[in-house]
Structure 1
Amino acid sequence: MPTPNPAALDFLLTRRSRPAKTLTTPVPDHATLMQLLTAAARTPDHGKLEPWRFIIINAAAMPPLATLAQQRGEALALDPEQVAKGRAQFDQGHLAVAVIEVQKPSAKIPVLEQTYSAGAVCVALVNAALAAGWGANWLSGWASHDRTFMQQGFDLAPHERIAGIIHIGTETSTPPERPRPQLENLITWL
């Protein structure tokens, strides 16, 4: 008979990301952030490839990324609202972790499974931060998918890309519960 962990299950059943724009200081200190990253790194990783890495974005790194997002959005002739949204996560950010997918050659592990693992790291980091009492949110957006932004802002290699940018901080307000999926519409029994 399995040994239940009701507190962990209750956390997972009630977890709620916090909008990044509502997060403020203080942010986790170095030791706390390392603990959160350690928890995130315990994600499923078929073949033990570690097809991801972390880039810490502190408050001082946010303004240059905001400027770069503005420049890239204008160069791509994006709608001004899209440009502003791409810039905003860095204008408003205090601490974030860019989870970088690092595609590694493997005869056994398809690239898609490596992508899944990087996504799992993003979820694990958000959940670790929330479980530790911090507010957290996983963002991406057009800038995260722009190769020039990735190269200039994060010095990513061609086999790397941004899986997500996880903002972590002190929440200023608890968001209302949002509608959740109707499971009966999503389940097929075989």
Structure 2
Amino acid sequence: MTTSPTTLTLAALDSRLSVPTRQLAAPGPDHDTLLRILRSAVRVPDHGKRVPFRFLRIAGDDRKALADATIARLLQRESRPAEGAIEKLRNRLTLPPLTIAVIARLGEDEKIPVSERQATASCVCLLLLQAAQAEGFGAQWLTGWPAYDRPLLERTLGLAPDEQLAGTIAMGTPQVEVPDRERPDPASLLTDWSPA
């Protein structure tokens, strides 16, 4: 008996999970595989066909350079960071062999609200996770303070004032089998609308 494409697709969607960055190691996706992953990731709802996102690849020795710059910014923000914060930040940026920053482009637009363009960029992040997993890699979507720190975003990552970091997607080969977490029951989240 063959498995239907619908069953295979839903099984892939239902099996998505995040692999912590500390559990991601080389190899990561090569250039061609990354382009294949990105081809899936750009198939998002996009009101007005604005393509309100772009990608920034962080790989190789640039991972350490970005970690150093991010740690320097943390020390500017906080004179005494929490215990382990520096090591955690360094690992977040150097352990995964590849990180893709998804940058939302949110400039003036007379027709499409900023919230819709931000939502499109967020959808890209989710599809990056799905596509990386489909290619056999683990991935994790990360934000935290670096995603909102304008000096870091503009001076270090080169974002324009009208751009925002939707998140970074760390990718690599999982070093452990990650247990699934409990998921919400969709039936408990569903209500029916009826006119008053």
TM-score range for the pair, normalised by the shorter chain length: over 0.9
Taking structure 1 as the reference length, the TM-score comes to 0.92
Are the equivalent residues in 2 in contact too, given 1:69–1:83 (CA < 8 A)? Answer: no
Q: Aligned equivalents of 1:114 and 1:83: distance in 2? A: 33
* Cross-structure match for 1:128: 131
Matched, 1:140 2:143: yes
Q: Aligned equivalents of 2:73 and 2:32: distance in 1? A: 34
* Runs (5+) with no aligned partner, structure 1: none
The 5 Å alignment of 1:11-160 reads 11-77=12-78, 78-160=81-163
Secondary structure at 2:92 match in 1: helix
Secondary structure at 1:73 match in 2: helix
Are the equivalent residues in 1 in contact too, given 2:58–2:100 (CA < 8 A)? Answer: yes
Secondary structure at 1:98 match in 2: strand
Q: Aligned equivalents of 2:91 and 2:51: distance in 1? A: 30
Secondary structure at 1:48 match in 2: coil
Secondary structure at 1:47 match in 2: coil
**What is the Cα deviation at residue 165 of structure 1?**
0.4
TM-align CA RMSD: 1.6
More helix by percentage: 1
**What is the Cα deviation at residue 83 of structure 1?**
4.2
Tell which structure's C-alpha radius of gyration is larger: 2
Q: Aligned equivalents of 2:99 and 2:133: distance in 1? A: 14
Give every structure 1 segment of 4 or more consecutive aligned residues whose post-TM-superposition deviation is greater than 4 Å: none
**What is the Cα deviation at residue 118 of structure 1?**
0.4
Q: Aligned equivalents of 1:4 and 1:70: distance in 2? A: 46
**What is the Cα deviation at residue 187 of structure 1?**
2.0
Identity of aligned residues (%): 37
